[in-house]
Amino acid sequence: MFKEEIMIQLSIQNLTKRYKTGEGVTGINIDVKKGELVTLLGPSGCGKTTVLRSVGGFLDPDSGDILIEGKSVLKLPPEKRPTAMVFQGYNLWPHMNVYNNLAFGLKIRKKSKKEIDDAIERVLELVRLPGTQKKLPGELSGGQQQRIAVARAFLLEPAVLLLDEPFSALDAKLRHEMREELRDIQASTGLTMVFVTHDQEEALSISDKIVVMNSGNIEQMASPQEIYDHPRTLFAAQFIGKMNFIQGSADGNTVNIKRLQFANTAKHQGDVTVAVRPEDILLLKPDEGLSAKVHQVMVLGHYAEVSLETETGVLKAFLPRDSVKDMYPGQFVGVTFSKVLTYKSA
């Protein structure tokens, strides 16, 4: 028991914070282990930034507690908490060069000139921007400025690093590169991080654990693989990855979609919503499975996205590129599914 408590770097316990608008969060419980990267994922207004800002000390919760390394930080102002925050905007002082932007927090902590010089040199190597000490923020690209913002947070040696959609202002290619770099840095430093995003691809690619949030509550908290393969709620299924939704019915041991039958592992009864990943759609001969007509074939690199008009509505399938080279709009095929998830219809 004692060893487990030592491993928990951040413990959010029954956190509630409600605004006059009715938005906010209720009864949030999250434990983050030392060295873990946990992502809060959800649509705008779901409460993820409220949780992050409460941990950082920028919001006062209505109730609950926040423990870092086993000690409550609720009564501490942001500057006294063992946290550092990286915001969406870079928040660099434009009139200060990189060195002075990075040194500011260390000077407040009364570090010596040599300690500051060594620390800045080390952290610039870490974020792959060595030798930029004399440059002004305006002389750096957006991605480089964001790396300096991350470096500044690292220099404070926080027990927990908080990142609030830090890459959302960057273009897609740069965002992808920054994710990889952040994961590399996290792996090499063993730093504990809490990351906020509404980008599901970002969450799936960088997280040890994802917390899916909706309307101020936690829908599911699990590894990216677990959430992708076994979304616990219909909302999680809708929010994580691409998904087809089909109306079906469940009775006894079977789920029925027209003439297709699948095992009713969730033991639902009556109307159900069946969720099928595009990669779990299989094509058959025209007289087998669900009847379908090819609407569109789009080759997207190593795979193809095929739109199919079926008797249950339009379905999107991901198929190997080589398997669609003879496929054409208007062609009739049969469709079945290698795997289905079922949820009780609302």
Give every CB contact of residue 260 below 8 A, 6+ residues apart in sequence: 289, 290, 336, 337
Tokens of 267: 């033991």
> How far is CA 233 from each of CA 51, 95, 170, 185, rounded to the nearest angstrom?
21, 49, 31, 33
The per-residue pLDDT for 60 is: 94
Give the residue among 258, 252, 167 at the shortest CA–CA distance from 205. 167
Contact (Cβ atoms closer than 8 angstroms) between residue 148 and residue 137: yes
Tokens of 62: 């209505």
The per-residue pLDDT for 1 is: 41
Please tell me the number of Cα atoms within 13 Å of 21 on its side-chain side: 8
Give the single-character DSSP code of 280.
G
The per-residue pLDDT for 6 is: 53
Share of the chain above pLDDT 70, in %: 97
Q: What is the mean pLDDT of residues 258-286?
A: 93
Burial (CB < 10 A; 0-12, 13-18, 19+), residue 146, is buried
CA angle 165, 168, 171 (to 5 degrees): 155
The per-residue pLDDT for 75 is: 92
Phi, psi of 80 (to 5 degrees): -100, -5
Q: What is the mean pLDDT of residues 288-296?
A: 94
CATH of span 243-344 = 2.40.50.140
Domain 2-236 indexed as CATH 3.40.50.300 = yes
pLDDT digit string, tens, across residues 54-103: 999 999 999 999 999 999 999 999 988 999 988 876 678 889 999 999 99
pTM: 0.87
Tokens of 151: 């470096």
Tokens of 318: 């991901």
Domain ranges of the chain: 2-236, 243-344
Contact (Cβ atoms closer than 8 angstroms) between residue 214 and residue 226: no
The per-residue pLDDT for 5 is: 47
The per-residue pLDDT for 90 is: 67
- Edge-to-edge strands of the sheet including 71-72? 24-33, 8-18, 63-68, 71-72
The per-residue pLDDT for 11 is: 97
pLDDT digit string, tens, across residues 186-230: 888 888 999 999 889 889 989 999 999 999 999 999 999 999 999
183 band by pLDDT with thresholds 50, 70 and 90:
confident
Q: At what angle do helices 172-189 and 113-126 cross, to 10 degrees?
A: 120
Q: At what angle do helices 98-108 and 142-155 cross, to 10 degrees?
A: 20
Contact (Cβ atoms closer than 8 angstroms) between residue 310 and residue 233: no
- Edge-to-edge strands of the sheet including 209-214? 83-86, 160-164, 193-197, 37-41, 209-214, 217-222
Among 7-21, 113-127, 162-176, 224-238, the minimum mean pLDDT is found in 162-176
Contact (Cβ atoms closer than 8 angstroms) between residue 38 and residue 32: yes
Give the residue among 253, 292, 245 at the shortest CA–CA distance from 272. 245
Q: How many Cβ atoms sit within 10 Å of the Cβ of residue 44?
A: 7
